Copies of this chain bind each other. A is one copy, B any other.
């Protein structure tokens, strides 16, 4: 699985979010690999309507329907077409209790949860909170173009090992610095089930080529 985090890049906002999601959809079909996208909240519905790939919100708050001006209600992203949520990204870190509450809220609505973790200890901690997926992202490599799977493979293997002692089901994604198919292959070899990628695709001169490179690598390993 490749999950593309659109962050707040203009190259992946509004119409350009749709364009990028369509590239992801084409590649997904071509290689028969799951390519999911996480556009900004304001773009969730647009992207969901115009593509058939899985769409994730970049954040939700664990509030219930009612007041809560300015927060992101789980039901609102669900109705907008999201099938899951990404939370606790290093750019939007959450209180431990809020992570638990959000995972619970999302599960109640059958939204898939991807919880980001900066370190292997946090990944292990998060594994106790019952998310569907954990994305391991050393923050010093985010946006660096240096793949964690190459620069610090021991972080990935250590994290996988720590998570598995606690939670045998959770899907593990490798994040931070992923830019090439080689990075993806390495991430899969190290025992994770996919990658979380952002600038490596969003900021690529050729987004379509970049996403094809990554998804193609998944396909080759998958065979």
Contact = CB atoms under 8 A, between A and B. Distances in A.
A67 interface: yes
B125 A96 contact: yes
A177 to B, nearest CB: 13
Interface in A90-109: 90-100
Interface in A42-59: 42-46, 57-59
A69 B89 contact: yes
Nearest to A87: B70
Interface in A66-80: 66-73, 75-77, 79-80
Contacts of A67: 7-9, 91, 142-143, 198-199
A41 interface: yes
Contacts of A143: 67
Interface residues of A, number: 67
Contacts of A127: 125, 128
A191 B73 CA distance: 35
A151 interface: no
Contacts of A80: 14, 42-43, 46
Contacts of A171: none
Interface stretch (A26-34, A116-124, A204-212, A214-222): A116-124
Nearest to A119: B100
Interface of A: 5, 7-10, 13-15, 38, 40-46, 57-59, 63, 65-73, 75-77, 79-80, 86-100, 118-119, 121-122, 124-130, 142-143, 162, 165-166, 198-199
A46 B90 CA distance: 30
A93 B125 CA distance: 16
Given A86-B69, A166-B166, A100 B76 contact: no
Nearest to A81: B42
A89 B97 CA distance: 11
Contacts of A65: 8-10, 13
Q: Which 3 A-B pairs have the closest CB atoms?
A: A59-B70, A70-B92, A14-B79
A79 B13 contact: yes
